[in-house]
Structures are given as C-alpha cells and as structure tokens.
Amino acid sequence: MRKSSHVQYDLQYHLVWTTKYRYKVLEGKIAERVRQIVLQVCRTKNVTILKGKVGKNHVHILASIPPSISISQFMQYVKGRSSRQIQEEFPNLKKRYWGQHLWSTGYFARSVGTVTQEIVEEYIENQIDDDDANFKVQK
C-alpha cells in the first residue's frame, strides 16, 4: 500500500514495450543505459518498479503507478525520454532509427493484483443494504 497526500493506493501494472521493427539493439551498454533511464524516469514520476527486465528488443516492468498519472502518460514520458537520450548517447543507432523513434508506437499494459473481480463483487454485495437496491447492477 502506498500513500500520497489524500489517497492510499495499491495499483500495479505489467508494462511491456518493444523496439521499433523488433531490432535487437538493447544489449551491453545500451541495455544498461535504458535501465538507468527508466529508473530515473520512475523516480521523477513517483513510480516504483517492483520487478523489471531489459530484453534484447523489449522492456518488461512491474510497476506501482500513482493514480494521478495515467498509464498512457507514463508510457509516453518513459518512451520519449529514453528514446531521445539513447539516440543522443549512441549515435550509431540513428542510422537504424532514422525517424528518431527507438520504440514501436504501442505497448502492452495489464493491471495485476491479488484481489480478483469475484472478491471485489462479493465485498460490494456484502456492503449494500437491501433498501439501496437501486444501485445494484442487473445481470
């Protein structure tokens, strides 16, 4: 459970993004630098990485992201910052990525947690009084 000034949250996401054309360029110093940049971006945005890995053509992270940041905002920021810095620091990549885009346009995101939909539904069902049947969802 994480806290900010007016909210407690436990939001965890599995995020994956790939290099453009799936080129296997994330090796050695480039992979290490991508890792450093992602960590730096996460610290800046108050995002906690619980687990992560930089593969040869993709990045996986399990992250806790504050509710004030949308997944798309976070992904835009992390991909934009890392692409720009990696291409500045490794000019040989500019030949391969002439459009200045290291990452493919999409990404994968899935929320994760230990509470299932059935548990939440059961919890809500047990909280509703019989007098408040107007708010129940019909199946």
Long-range contacts of 112-119 (CB under 8 A, 24+ apart): 112/12, 112/13, 112/14, 112/62, 113/10, 113/12
Which 3 state secondary structure label does DSSP give 36? helix
Which 3 state secondary structure label does DSSP give 110? strand
Catalytic residues: 123
> Which residue has 């610290």 as its token pair?
43
